[in-house]
Amino acid sequence: MKIILHGGFFSESDQTHEVKIAKQNSLEQIARNGFEYLQNHSAEDTVVFTVKLLEDDPLFNAGTGSQIQSDGRIRMTAALMNGETQKFSGVINVENVRHPIVLAQLLKKEEDRVLGDGGAKEYATQNKIEEYNPETPQRRQEFEEKRKGNGSGTVGCVALDGSGNIAAATSTGGKGFELKGRISDSATVAGNYANEFCGISCTGVGEDIVSNATAAKIVTRVTDGMSIEQAFNKTFEELTKIDGFAGAVGIDRSGKLFHQESHPTMVFASFDGAELQVFQ
């Protein structure tokens, strides 16, 4: 059983010792909590649980503390994929919910498993998900000052459970100040993908991640026989050719953990019950 998670990238406005330490401490605690939860739960339930914790932490750009878009509103995106069942579900540009990842999991039981905008919010209301404003004073100040803050931020988690099943979950508040209607990579197979061989969650510039089909490429290459390290390296070589900005975390079915980024510094943590790794 293993878990790996990420909290996006540092931005220029994040580069303080205090913020770095706060993110390290938060990711360490969330990794430990997620791994403890994994002991008695499936990979799918664990990645949802862990991403909920990340969505609740205003240090990260997902759920509470999400970026504000160009029209002054917050729209969030999240996705979940179960490697065993091969079911992908997600919400795109949903507003006024606390945990977009919970909506993504609820949609697993539906025939139509990816909903956008008003449809996603209506589905949340129908399922008695309470109204919630994810805005924080810091994000409002950043918006008013036209600063992007942690614009390259997204959160995600990949877990391997005791039965050998893999799941991946990703959630984001967007890049900040984007055009109304812009679609993130997070609720696509480019940003979040898993099967029985490997699971991947990405962060960075969504347009670059989609152009490179990052998560799906890595998983496909592992499925076809590459090691997870080889699959990451090959896919990030291709990302470099388009000057792409991205990071990813993953686990293969043997329990090998791997992470890579095109630009430092992606914030991440992993835990296997013995060794805890946190970005430096």
Residues belonging to the active site: 154
Give the Cα separation of 126 and 41 in Å (integer).
Answer: 27
CB-facing half-sphere around the CA of 92: CA atoms within 13 A: 16
Handedness of CA 113, 131, 49, 271 (dihedral sign): positive
Degrees, nearest 5: CA angle 113-114-115: 115
Nearest to 58 by CA among 8, 5, 125: 8
Query: How far is CA 77 from each of CA 28, 228, 277, rounded to the nearest angstrom?
Result: 24, 27, 27
Cβ pair 77, 92 in contact under 8 A? yes
What is the SS3 assignment for 159-224?
EECCCCCEEEEEEECCCCCCCCCCCCCCCCCCCEEECCCEEEEEEECHHHHHHHCHHHHHHHHHHC
Give the Cα separation of 237 and 39 in Å (integer).
Answer: 36
Nearest to 79 by CA among 58, 105, 99, 56: 105
